[in-house]
Amino acid sequence: MLDVRTKRSEQRITDAVKAPGTTLVDVYGIGPILDTTIIDDTGDIGRFPTSGHCADDVRDRADRVLIVGSDGAPTVASGGTGR
């Protein structure tokens, strides 16, 4: 039963990714789940004046790490890349 529900969910995600005409799934190793995750995390790319601004935003967010303390409270810490 779980396999059937998983396959249905994967199909719905695949259909949703194809609907707006995304091309991320054309990149080797990126399937519909990762495609959806990237699009969701990035948001509207129209907010970036250039592709370089988008890349900077992605790098900035990748530098932040979510750490969960022993008390269970999340803390955002810098990745410390020195940029």
State pLDDT tens for residues 36-83: 778 777 788 888 999 899 888 877 776 666 666 677 676 666 554 444
Range 22-34 burial, b when 16+ CB lie within 10 A, else e:
bebbeeeebebee
Q: How many domains does the chain have?
A: 1
In a domain, 49, yes or no: yes
DSSP label of 47: G
In a domain, 9, yes or no: yes
pTM listed for this prediction = 0.46
Neighbours of 48 (CB within 10 A): 16
Angle (nearest 5°) at CA 82 between 80 and 57:
80
First and final C-alpha spacing in the chain: 49
The pLDDT score that the predictor gives to residue 66 is 63
What is the span of the domain harbouring residue 11? 2-78
